Amino acid sequence: MDVSSEKNPNVSSSAEKTEEADYVNAAKVAAKNITSIPGHQFPSFSKFFPLLASYWLILLVVIPLHIHFHLIAQSELKQLKANQKLLLEENYNLTSLNEELRKERKNLTEQIETMEKTWNEQNVSRAQWSIDQYCPKGNNGRTCTSCQNGWEKQFSSCYAYNDAKPPDQRNWEDARENCRTKNSDLTVVFDQTEKDYVNTQSHDIHDIQGYWIGLRAEGGKWRWIDGSDLTNQTWIQQQPIDGQCVTSLQGREWKSMSCDEKNAWHCEKKALSV
């Protein structure tokens, strides 16, 4: 240890101050050397602030938009899946319906074929029935007539007079249905000659009050069952009232009465040309 330094503290203090001054001078020299490099500048925070602010602004706009469009995309995807499910269900239903329609078509085709077969058989039966009725077999073979047995030919028609007694008489609708079962209908009168003939065949027997013919009131008019209107209004004096039908009886003019009353009746059909 240096005795002189222990004895003189001012000497030590002066040395320390010299070292400190050297350190500061060295720092200044280093700083001067750095700033003296050509083109070198220290960045300023104020220069970077607008750029950073722009980045943040972009992030604040882009992120919510990204989230928004992502949610929209998810919603649309969900809706598309739901629509796809509905379409698949509809396709399944249409496939099932198509199968049912195919089966129904097959059944209808079979029914039509059966009906055609039955119809053809019935036609043959009707033809045979007509032959047997109009051309009955005899000892000398078949002899054809214009009207079948039980019918009377007059003009170009065949007439059947159903002079039923009161217990067996019918209302107008039932009488017409009876005629239809015989391939005929209630009588439609064409002219005065036919009217007179029908009247002569409307026999006043068995307490019969009249014979139904094919004339009734419809819509305030006297109308035949073939759809034509009565042209000669002198044939019946009573006014047409719906629910009234006309009867014929020998010895008196035509008379209307309720279609629900029961009477005898006349049937008519075309005569066969032989």
What does the block give as tokens for 86?
């509905």
Cβ atoms of residues 163 and 210 within 8 Å: no
What does the block give as tokens for 231?
């042209």
Tell me which residue has tokens 């043959």: 124
Cβ atoms of residues 184 and 266 within 8 Å: no
Q: What is the pLDDT along the chain (274 residues), one digit of tens a residue?
A: 444 444 444 444 555 555 555 555 655 555 555 444 455 555 555 667 777 777 788 878 888 888 888 888 888 888 998 899 999 888 889 988 888 898 888 888 888 888 877 777 666 666 666 677 777 777 777 888 888 888 999 999 999 999 999 899 999 999 999 999 998 999 999 999 999 999 999 999 988 999 999 999 999 999 999 999 999 999 999 999 999 999 999 999 999 999 999 999 999 999 988 6
Distance between CA 35 and CA 5 in Å, rounded?
41
CA neighbor of 243 nearest in space, from 274, 209, 219: 219
Number of Cβ within 10 Å of residue 225's Cβ equals: 16
Residue at 261: amino acid letter: E
Interior/surface letters 143-160, b for 16+ CB within 10 angstroms, e for the rest? eebebbeebeebeebbbb
- Reply yes or no on domain 152-270 having CATH 3.90.1010.10: no
Distance between CA 161 and CA 259 in Å, rounded?
19
What does the block give as tokens for 188?
């439609």
CA neighbor of 162 nearest in space, from 208, 214, 225, 226: 208
> Per-domain residue ranges for the chain?
58-144, 152-270
151 Rama sector, left if φ>0, alpha if ψ -120 to 50, beta otherwise: beta
Q: What is the CA radius of gyration of the chain?
A: 60
Query: Please, is 16 exposed, middle or buried when counting C-beta atoms within 10 Å of its C-beta (0-12, 13-18, 19+)?
Result: exposed
What does the block give as tokens for 42?
């220290």
Whole-model pTM over 0.75: no
* pLDDT for res 4: 43
* pLDDT for res 113: 80
Half-sphere exposure for 265 (CA within 13 Å, toward CB): 29
